[in-house]
Amino acid sequence: MLKGQLKYILVLLLAMVLLVVVQLSTPPPLDWSPSFSREDKIPYGNFILFALLPDVFPRTAVSIVQDPIYTVLTGDTIDAEARLNRNYASGSDDADDAYDDYRDAEPDSAATFDSASTRSLFRSKSAITQRSTTYMFIGGNYVGSFLPDKLDVEYLLQFVSEGNTVFIAAQRFDASFLDTLRLRVGNYYEVANLGVKTDNAETGGGLSLESKLDSLGINFINPALRAKSDYRTRRTDGSHAYFTRFDSLKAEALGMNSKGYVNYLRLRFGKGFFYLNTVPYAFTNYNLMMAPNSEYVFKALSYLPVQPVLWDEFYKVGRRESRTPLRYILSNEALRWAYYLTIASALLFITFESKRRQRIIPVVAPPPNMAVEFVETVGRLYYQNGDHKDLATKKITFFLDDLRSSYMVRTTAFDAEFYETLARKSGIAESDLKTLFTFITQQGMRSSVSEIDLKQLSAMIDNFYKKSN
């Protein structure tokens, strides 16, 4: 009875395999959500930026961080979820005292953090802080926000005060972090060419626009880095964060937007520096692929010292853990091998038990390819007809259409801009291009074309393709 049902089982199994293949081959819809993660190749991920870090910081180590700041800097594995749910306002007095020391201290000297509670709070050191390091935060959860808890803020401030560097690109910042650095962040909302300016000391405002609008232009203040035209990015909302208040004696403005609002700061804190940027979307895959935005990213990161880099992933995606049954199976060694053996057994069963049990079907030869013969026949017809003008017109039309699609140039007028653009993209000298298109123009204006001119036209077009990139 099993043999009689075998074919139905195989058909069902084949249908399941085809269903899986179809599901896997169907392209997923484009995900426009801002993840800022190094693993994501979606428009607002950071896959490209992370891949470029070795070029930005040559001969230095780039480490991936998937733990909160406290754990990274101290090595203490306090449960992250428990800390996120902890209320520090009613918690340890030592932690509150240490935070007050930070808020009230002068940032120019690390020696100001000298209360007993602060010394106790930072008595544990991770080996990673034994040499100068750059800690990078690009974007974060809640649509590009940097919102660590109070304990993480305290350790991050201590980390910088000891001579390290922190780079943060975010639209919103933690309130205690801004208060300590005596900063204020505001937002400029651009809706259909209408600007609405708001200030928010804690997070920079919470208005969210669903329409995807072009952002304001951004640029650098330093004349040596400032571009002739502003860089423009795309984002998920119409908000543009900027710094509305900072201490000009301790902070240096490095960049601004086209409205004149500062969006990039270097702030001295103790022996180290904070680099704060309010345009996290400029560092994402989509905007890095839009020329010349990659230039803005390299210039922005050129301010950072060349030293070991910590790349944060925790404040974007948290700890990477199994979230699906298959991921859980693959994370367990025994279950993983059982899964592989099951797949292998199914493949072997299909290979050896799906033998043909009927006479061999004869092979039917496919019809021959007559494309070459067809082209030769059409060519002979044109040759016998002798209408060289019609053939030259078609050849010129197809050539210009190929230029538009391959080199993205307009062919309505053969002017200086056309020659310059095509020469740059094709790698052919402008003088050769002018000779070619002058001849094309002459043939187009004639009422008839001789066989010699037609052959010359064909040879010049073929020569263009041989010389082009």
111-159 residue pLDDT tens:
333 333 333 334 444 444 457 899 999 988 767 889 998 999 999 999 9
Strand partners, 167: 136, 275
pLDDT above 70 for 110: no
Query: How many CB atoms are closer than 10 A to CB 403?
Result: 19
d(CA 296, CA 423): 27
Separation of alpha carbons 197 and 125, rounded Å: 43
Number of neighbouring beta carbons within 10 Å of residue 416: 10
- Taking only the tens place, the pLDDT of each residue in 335-346 is 888 888 888 888
* Kind of pairing between the strands at 309-312 and 62-65: parallel
Q: How far apart are CA 466 and CA 455, in angstroms?
A: 16
Question: What does CATH list as the number for 47-317?
Answer: 3.40.50
Mean pLDDT on 401-427: 89
Cross-strand partners of 273: 165, 268
Q: Give every CB contact of residue 302 below 8 A, 6+ residues apart in sequence.
A: 56, 225
Instruction: Identify the pLDDT of residue 336.
Output: 83
pLDDT digits (tens, 9 = 90+) for 154-194: 999 999 999 999 999 999 999 999 999 999 999 877 644 43
CA distances from 390 to 381, 387, 450 (A): 13, 6, 11
**Joined tokens for residue 140:** 């974060």
Identity at 432, one-letter amino acid code: D
CA 381 to chain centre: 54
* pLDDT at 202 exceeding the cut of 50: no
Q: How far apart are CA 82 and CA 329, in angstroms?
A: 26
Task: Give Cβ neighbours of residue 310 (< 8 Å, ≥ 6 apart).
Answer: 63, 65, 72, 128, 133, 134, 135, 136
Q: In this predicted structure, what is the pLDDT of residue 15?
A: 82
Structure tokens at 457: 């036209």
| Residue whose entry in the numeric block shows the structure tokens 């560097």 | 165
Position 87 confidence tier, pLDDT thresholds 50, 70, 90? very low
d(CA 391, CA 380): 12
> How many residues in the chain?
469
Mean pLDDT to the nearest integer, 31-35: 85
> Across all residues in the chain, what is the average pLDDT?
79
Whether 6 has a pLDDT exceeding 90, the answer reads no
Per-residue pLDDT of 280-327, as tens digits, reads: 999 999 999 987 889 999 999 999 999 999 999 998 865 555 457 787
pLDDT value at 358 more than 70: no
Nearest in space to 95 (alpha carbons), one of 81, 72, 109, 78: 78
For residues 197 and 309, is the Cβ–Cβ distance under 8 A? no
CA distance 464 to 429: 10
Domain ranges of the chain: 47-317, 322-364, 372-467
Q: How confident is the model at residue 205 (pLDDT cuts 50, 70, 90)?
A: very low
Residue 309 to residues 162, 164, 301, 370, Cα–Cα distance (Å): 16, 10, 12, 61
pLDDT top residue among 437 and 358: 437
pLDDT of residue 91: 36
